[in-house]
Amino acid sequence: MSTAIVWFRRDLRIADQPAVRAALEKSDKVHFVFIWSPEDESLGSASRWWLHYSLLALHQSLEKTYGVQLELFRGKPAAILEDLISKSQAQFLYWSRLYDPQTRKRDEKIKEHFKKKGLEVKSFNASLLFEPTMIANKSGKPFQVFSPFWRHCLASGPIESARAAVSKKLVASKSLSSLSLRDLGLLPKIKWDKKMAEVWRPGELGAQERLAVFLKAAVKSYSTDRNIPGVEGSSRLSPHLHFGEISPHQIWNSTSSIINSSGNSSRVRASSVAKNSAEVFLREIGWREFAYHLLYHFPHTPDEPLRAEFKKFPWRKSKEDFEAWTKGRTGYPIVDAGMRELWATGWMHNRVRMVVASFLVKHLLIEWQKGAAWFLDTLVDADLASNTLGWQWASGSGADAAPYFRIFNPILQGEKFDPDGAYVRRWVPELADLSNKFIHKPWLLENSPALYPAPIVDHAFARKRALQAFAQLRLNDSLLQ
DNA sequence: TGAAATGTTGGGGCG
DNA sequence: ACGCCCCAACATTTC
């Protein structure tokens, strides 16, 4: 009897999972394998916490649906797969594709190696609506601006439907002497994760539940509410998407069915708002696709600016300022609230991500790579593609970037998007008693809260300094030409 | 998915 | 009644 190995990575689900489906079609003996390789992929503590529970959830659903366990290993994937294949005599090795430069290189080698040994090795698309190789502009080049990219994607043909999980009982095969989940050492040694468990439910079921809740209510007013961090207006699907607990196809299918069914309702007015909101939401899925497009075609961008002239930007070095930023002690309430939300829950509202990123890069003039690294280290949805796009956007050095002169005013952003201070009050409790008038500028109070720091930099001063620095950059650039 | 500076308009207070 | 000024509200431009 033939044997297949499914190598799970960031596709931790069983529905709409082409590698699993292919293996089940080929064989009644399948080993489901996950290899924890911190040497290849450094995950922050929040992401590790998530991964632990996501693996637990995957293990449970594999057992329930197929009657077999998830087998866990630790080390270099090539070596571990070699061992597994010789022990199991597997003929088929399947996985879902990843798109970051290092992993692509590693996986290509592994594929070539086992093909040479006579195995059928296949990789599948399990995480993108439009893989980077499918999309190019008229001159055959990758897109660098979102709108034309997304227009092109939407015009490039219908999006495939998500497929349900195949249900089938597999032949129990001898386990490959795997580790226990605890042996992977993904959980934190210090117990800081209590808040995480209150906020998140990692795993495929948690993802489906999150999507269902979002589509039932919040999606209707997504286009406006998604900007208000004090309101639960966003889907919070990002960590589920990152670990592949849900596919964009599944999200696409269920969301577009709302768009299509809202046309013949009697409440035409209300439904057209909902329809627009659903489209705005799907556009955000499009931004994720765009991020993978850029990472694939411009593999240097996690470390270096896409626009080369930014390499010479006169960044400041200030350990103290960076630390104040990470700890949520900059003296600007909306910035500090965001950084503290991140620290407590491993997540930050997107509006606030833009504000804190702009603050680090433009007010403090600290290089975006440092902010990007902090985000990767602390976010549960830490994703190289999306994170790179976001930070390059904020610094003005990337594709479709914010112009250099676009500097967020942290006071105005707070007043505009957190007008009643609900978000600040939640995450910066020492300001909870302030009136709406002062909640975003507590330093103007006669006796401002003693425990809360004064602004580490004056806004007007910082704005001028940033504009000067960016002007210098443009000067350098024109002198070179 | 920007903010600040500058320009324009028009209502209303007031001599 | 009229001209003048102030200023809020909105529009445009500039960074």
Q: pLDDT, tens digit, for every residue of A177-204?
A: 789 999 999 999 999 999 999 999 999 9
Whether residue A84 contacts residue A47, with contact meaning beta carbons closer than 8 Å, is answered with: no
Nucleotide nearest to A468 (CA to C1'): C15
> A280-294: per-residue pLDDT in tens?
999 999 999 999 999
> A24-76: per-residue pLDDT in tens?
999 999 999 999 998 878 899 999 999 999 999 999 999 999 999 999 999 99
Answer yes or no: is A440 CB < 7 A from strand B: no
Answer yes or no: is A150 CB < 7 A from strand B: no
Average pLDDT estimate for A316-322: 97
Nucleotides of B under 7 A from a protein CB: 1-4
**Is residue A433 predicted with pLDDT exceeding 60?**
yes
Instruction: Tell me what percent of the residues of chain A surpass a pLDDT of 90.
Output: 85
Least confident of A237-246, A435-444, A468-477: A468-477
Nucleotides of C under 7 A from a protein CB: 15
> A448-457: per-residue pLDDT in tens?
888 999 999 9
Burial (CB count within 10 angstroms: exposed 0-12, middle 13-18, buried 19+), residue A436: exposed
pLDDT of residue A157: 82
pLDDT of residue A259: 80
Answer yes or no: is A407 CB < 7 A from strand B: yes
DSSP letters of A363-386? IS---HHHHHHHHHHH-TT--HHH
Q: How far is the CA of A416 from the C1' of B12 (A)?
A: 30
Q: How far is the CA of A318 from the C1' of B4 (A)?
A: 28
Q: How far is the CA of A386 from the C1' of C15 (A)?
A: 29
Nucleotide nearest to A283 (CA to C1'): B1
DSSP state of A149: H
pLDDT of residue A24: 96
Confidence of residue A95 (pLDDT cuts 50, 70, 90): very high
In degrees and rounded to multiples of 5, residue A56 shows phi and psi of -60, -45
HSE at residue A414, side-chain half, CA atoms within 13 A, is 25
pLDDT of residue A260: 79
**Is residue A377 predicted with pLDDT exceeding 90?**
yes
Q: What is the CA radius of gyration of chain A?
A: 24
Answer yes or no: is A413 CB < 7 A from strand B: yes
Report the distance separating Cα A252 and Cα A225, nearest Å.
Answer: 20
| Average pLDDT over all residues of chain A | 93
Strand partners, A30: A4
Nucleotide nearest to A404 (CA to C1'): C15
Instruction: Tell me what percent of the residues of chain A surpass a pLDDT of 70.
Output: 96
pLDDT of residue A478: 61
Average pLDDT estimate for A227-241: 97
Average pLDDT estimate for A320-331: 98
- Domains within chain A, CATH numbers bracketed: 1-126 (3.40.50.620), 127-161+203-297 (1.25.40.80), 308-480 (1.10.579.10)
| pTM of structure | 0.95
Confidence of residue A481 (pLDDT cuts 50, 70, 90): very low
Nucleotide nearest to A414 (CA to C1'): B2
Query: Whose CB is within 7 A of strand C?
Result: A 403, 405, 467, 471
Answer yes or no: is A415 CB < 7 A from strand B: no
